[in-house]
């Protein structure tokens, strides 16, 4: 229930003004689920973006939506204290496991 409450409070269609504004709650299990969810979502969304949108559409609306999506996941990861190094390490592990 707590996980659903937190994730439902911050949808991708809404702009997150500051990563500090994201309330993650006090439960360690929820925190861990959020970390896994947001990393997985960023990996998949970035992969989809690079495959289907990157340099394929000149429309500013596509570019703006793509930037917003990446900023959304970056805000979550910043709030969850996931460093760029940690994110990169996890992405590399996922890629090795998918080979």
**What are 61-91's pLDDT values in tens digits?**
777 777 777 788 888 889 999 999 999 998 8
Tally the domains of the chain: 1
Q: Which residues lie below 8 Å from residue 82, measured CB to CB, with a gap of 6+?
A: 35, 38, 39
Host domain of residue 60: 2-13+21-97
Task: Note the pTM of the prediction, 2 decimals.
Answer: 0.71
C-alpha–C-alpha distance, residues 69 and 27, integer Å: 26
**What are 14-54's pLDDT values in tens digits?**
677 777 778 887 888 888 888 888 888 888 877 776 677 66
Q: Are 22 and 15 in contact (CB under 8 A)?
A: no
């Amino acid at each position: 229930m707590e996980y659903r409450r937190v994730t439902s409070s911050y949808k991708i269609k809404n702009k997150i003004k500051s990563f500090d504004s994201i309330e993650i709650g006090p439960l360690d299990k929820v925190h861990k689920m959020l970390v896994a969810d947001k990393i997985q979502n960023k990996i998949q969304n970035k992969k989809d973006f690079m495959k289907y949108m990157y340099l394929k559409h000149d429309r500013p609306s596509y570019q703006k939506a793509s930037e917003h999506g990446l900023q959304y996941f970056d805000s979550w990861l910043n709030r969850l204290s996931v460093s760029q190094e940690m994110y990169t390490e996890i992405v590399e592990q996922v890629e090795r496991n998918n080979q």
